[in-house]
Structures are given as structure tokens and as C-alpha cells.
Amino acid sequence: MSWRLRFGLFIFIAFFSLITVRLFYWQVVRAEELSSIGEAQYKKRVIQTVERGEIKTSDNFPIVANRFTYLLFVNPKEIENKQDLSEILSPILEMEEASISARILADRFWVPIKSQVDSKTKEDIERLDLAGVGFERQIKRFYPEASMSAKLLGFVGKDEDGADKGYFGLEGHYDRQLRGKGGEAVIINDAQGRPILSKLEDNSGAVDGRDLVLHIDRAIQYMLDSTLKDGVERYGAEGGMAAIMNPKTGAMIAMSSFPSYDPAKYEEYSDKLYRDPFISDTYEPGSTFKPLVVASAIDAGVIEASTRCPICAGPITIGEYDIRTWNNKYRANATMNEVIVHSDNTGMVYVGRSLGLDRMISYLGKFGIGSLTGIDLQGEVVPSVREKGSWYPIDLATASFGQGITVTPIELLTAFSAIANSGKRMEPHVVSKIITPEGEVIEIVPKVINRPISDRAAKIVTEMMVNAVDEGEAKFAKPKGYRIAGKTGTAQIPVAGHYDPNQTIASFIGFAPADDPKFLMLVVIDRPTSSIYGAETAAPIFFEMATNLLNYYGIAPNE
């Protein structure tokens, strides 16, 4: 072989080796990096916004729906005059010029300026044909009934990653059902940046959120909202709350509380207003607790409606405390029926003593006092019942008439469902069914939690409560011709180790028609000023609403 041939071969091998090394470098050493750079040139990742599920009332009306809004963003590298752009956008977006300017000056390709921009503003800006300004579609919650049942619904805010997240009420409890599953789709573009249909990859598995259908009756909710709001204003109260349940199923028909907030603008309100006090606030129930204790004693067989109270002739002294009636009037040998009708504290001390501490604690547990009710709303709390060893005789006495023991309103309402429902206590539920995007309907069936008292005990206490309405302090407000079972409550508020004599929580709980209840309702008024008594504040609101309900359900008077 001549040297020329050898030289040629050497050059050939050298170049071949160089190419091999270079290819190895590209295809092995930097393979991943170059591959992603290449993909970035023809692949486009698109965030797939999924639609959050709607929340509908029992008539299928979306009380929470969705609306299109836009995120306005800019590409600072495409903007010629940043100062001019800030001046133009500032009045349209109702933002400080300096705030826009500071964002535009960022050395980035994509800078968000304002989210939740409505369609009209978007069209106004698009007409200006501004370079470097773009929009990204967003979905925002829309409340057709404005702030109706705001605390029940909760609101949608952001989580730590900036994604939508439900907080409080239904939005919080059912967040995973409502939010669906977001995803990314990859579109492969041609040289001009147009997507190629055959190469569209859509394997992100994005799924829209599920809809919730509630037991909430929109008409009743509207009536309750307006009746309660008027009542709170009329009686100069700091606030108020009420809820209506179907005691036979546990279905929550309406829930309302004031003061409230607008869930569409939740950030403008104090976070103290976000909680639903009906499930999150605790209070001493006062006399509304008496029917539960009497029902327990009847069920235990220690008293009957006709049993007479041997210690009701005057105040009862326990240690350093005197137990008195609310009006300081005493009825010697009052029957248990009279004890409930006249809301006699001394009579309740007798009932408490007859029942005894062990049975009292056992029945409180059976009525769900000290346990979560399981209502499908985020934010339910449960005040604990004191340990058995820390009960003193005065505690048993005061607990028998609803002082010195705390409950949440939902706890009390659920406990009373046992009296209204032949002894069966129902689990409260706001949602009746969940509907998947494919149309599958998941029914939530009524659930009996337990049976704390017998049917007989429930009937006797119901009759006592009917008498309490017909002959008690609130009889003036009762609609004529109906049998309504109810009980007033006026609980003093513990302040720094004693009870404030001028501030009360006034309440009324009851159900109608008494013999075949269609609804069970609790009204709680916080610190009314026109009168401190439940009979003069909460009871009129209860009966006004009860009249509306009886008319709404078309129930004719039968007395």
C-alpha cells in the first residue's frame, strides 16, 4: 500500500472517529437536553382547565355556577413603550399605574397583570390592539342568588400552588368531588406553529368536577334568609342563625345565619364571617335542652308526664348556689308537663336528680351531645362533655335545664330529630346526590344514627312541647289551628366566671305538624336588645317562619 493510500485511510478513519465522537456526545451525553430543546420547538403544553362542579338546590337551580373570566398577561419583551402601556391599562383595569409598571419591567416572557377580568373589559382592551398583551381563560364562581346561604356554601380560594380550592361549608367538605381533575395536553405544531391534528396528544385524563344536588329548598331558604334578617334587625341582636331539617330523613332544608358575607368577594370580608356558626359556634342551650332531659327520664322510667315535683315550692339551694325559676314564681307539686310548659328550673333539678348522673351522661351520649353529628359541611366542631369524675351536684342540676353545658346548634337540632321522629336520631345531610360528568347519579341515603329514646317517650315529650307552645309564654305568636311542638330557651352568657345578667342567647326549637312532622326548626338569636327572652324574640321568628312553611307545604289547620 502506497503512503498516499495510507494517508487517505488515516484521514478517513480520523474524520470517521471525530464524527462518531460527536454523535456520541449529541446522542448519549446531551441526548436528554437536546431532546427537550427540540420538543420545545414543536411541542406545546396546554393546561387543561376543568370546570368545577355546580351546586344546585333541590329544584335543580344552580345556586353556585361558573362564569368565564380572563387572566390578563403581558410579554415585556414585546412591549415597545412600557410607560405608555401602564398608562393605558391603569384606568381600564382599575389598578394603580405604578403596580402595572412594576410588573411590566420584569425581565421575563410572561407576567400576569390581573386575573378575573370580565369579557367586556377583555374586548375593550383587545380593540386597542396592544402589542405584548394577551389573555388566558379562567373559570370563576358565580352566585345567581348573590349571598343567599353564603356560609353554607363556603367559597373557592387558592391553595399554596395557586390552584382553586374550596374552603368552608360545602365547597370545603366536597372540594375533591367539585374540583375534578386538571391536566395537561400536548399539541404538536407545524413550522408555522399550527397544531397538527393527527399528532395531538390528549392523555392527560382531565375530568370535570361533579355536581352536587342539595336538599336545600331554594324558596324556603329565601324565606328563612329574609325572615331571620328582619328578625335580627327588629330585635337589635348582634346576630342570628336558624336551620330547618326534615326530622324523618335528616335532610337539611334550609340553613341561614347573619351577619353574612358575599362569597364572590370573600376577600373583602373579615375571616371571622367565613365560619357557619350553626356548626362551628358553641353556646349554652338553656331551656331548649329541657325536653331532652325529660325525654331521657321518661325513657329511663323514672318519671311520667303526671309525676309531681316534690321540691318545686321554692328556690333550691345546692352548696353556695340558689336555683330559681326564670320569673321567681314557684309551683308546688307541679307535674312534669307543667315543668316543661312553665320552663321550671326547679322541676328540672328534680328530673336531673331522678335520672342520676350515670344515666344523665349515658343519655347525653345517646342524643349525640359531645359527638360530631357528621353533617357534610366543613367546619363542624364539638364541645366536649365534662368527664364523669368532674361532675358536682350543681353541675347535674344546671345541666338539667341547659346551663353549664355547651352544644352546637346542629348538635341540638340533631338530638331533637329523635323526639320528632319516634325516637330515631337522624344524621343531618345537606347533599342529596352527587352527579358525575358522565351523568351517573350517586344518591346519599338517609341514615339513622341511633335510637336514644323509645317511641312512647318521644310521643309524651312531643305532647308536653305542644302544651308548652299552647300555654307557654310564646303562645301569642303561634299560628292558629295547628299543633306545633316547641320550646323556648333563654340562656345567659358566661363571662369571666359568672353569667352576664343583661346578655342572653335567645332560642326556640320546635317541629310541626306535631303528629307527623314535616319540619324541625331551631332559631337562635345572639344578644337581642329589645328583649332578652327567647319567647319574645326567637319564638316570633320561629312562628313567622313556621306559618310560611305550613302555607308552602299546603298543610291546612286541623284544630
Partner 1 sequence: MKRPKLLIGFMLAVIMALSVVRIGIENSISTTGIELVRLQGELDEYKKENYQLEEKYLAESSLTEIASKAATLGFVDAKKTVYLSTPLPLALKQ
CA–CA distances in Å: residue 499 to residues 304, 314, 399, 537: 32, 22, 15, 20
Can you read off the three cell numbers belonging to residue 326?
A: 326564670
Taking the complex as a whole, the smallest distance from the CB of residue 45 to partner 1 amounts, in Å, to 16
Q: Strand 498-512 vs strand 519-526: parallel, antiparallel, or unpaired?
A: antiparallel
Nearer to partner 1, 222 or 499 (CB): 222
72 close to 90: Cβ distance less than 8 angstroms = no
- Mention every residue, 6+ apart, whose C-beta is less than 8 A from residue 391: 357, 361
Buried (b) or exposed (e) across 376-387, using 16+ Cβ within 10 A? bbbbbebeebee
Q: Which of 77, 67, 68, 74 is nearest to 128 (CA)?
A: 74
19 torsion bin: left (phi>0), alpha (psi -120 to 50), beta (else)? alpha
- Cβ 465 to partner 1, closest distance in Å? 24
Comparison of 131 and 219: residue with beta carbon closer to partner 1: 219
First-to-last C-alpha distance (Å) of the chain: 128
CB of 245 to partner 1, least distance (A): 21
258: β partners: 240
**CB nearer to partner 1: pick between 195 and 315:** 195
The sign one gets for the Cα dihedral 343, 347, 349, 352 is negative
Give the separation between CA 463 and CA 481, rounded to whole angstroms. 16
Q: How far is the CB of 266 from partner 1 (least distance, A)?
A: 18
Q: How far is the CB of 61 from partner 1 (least distance, A)?
A: 7
Question: How far apart are CB 199 and partner 1 at their closest, in Å?
Answer: 9
Toward partner 1, which CB reaches closer, 36 or 119?
119
Separation between Cα atoms, residue 432 and residue 213, nearest integer Å: 6
Between CA 559 and CA 557 the distance in angstroms is: 6
What is the distance between the alpha carbons of residues 200 and 43, in angstroms, rounded to a whole number? 10
Q: Which is nearer to partner 1, 6 or 137 (CB)?
A: 137
User: Which residues have C-beta within 8 Å of that of residue 293, sequence separation ≥ 6?
Assistant: 348, 351, 352, 355, 360, 363, 399, 400, 401
Is the CB of 141 or the CB of 487 nearer to partner 1? 141
CB 370 within 8 A of CB 384: yes
Nearer to partner 1, 33 or 59 (CB): 59
Residue type, 3: W
In the complex with partner 1, the residue whose CB is nearer, 284 or 544, is 544
Minimum Å distance from CB 537 to partner 1? 21
Nearer to partner 1, 205 or 557 (CB): 557
Which residues of this chain interact with partner 1, rule CB under 8 A? 61-62, 65-68, 119, 137, 142, 144-146, 148, 189-190, 194-198, 200, 218-219, 222, 551, 556-557
Residue (226 or 362) nearer to partner 1, CB: 226
**200-208 contacts, C-beta under 8 A, 24 or more apart:** 204/48, 205/181, 206/48, 206/50, 206/180, 206/181, 206/182, 207/50, 207/180, 207/181, 207/437, 208/50, 208/51, 208/53, 208/180, 208/437
Q: Name the residue nearer to partner 1 (CB basis): 142 or 269.
A: 142
Phi, psi of 64 (to 5 degrees): -130, 115
Residue 139 CB, nearest distance to partner 1 (Å)?
9
Minimum CB separation of residue 85 from partner 1 in Å reads: 25
Q: How far is the CB of 418 from partner 1 (least distance, A)?
A: 31
Minimum CB–partner distance for residue 148 and partner 1 (Å): 7
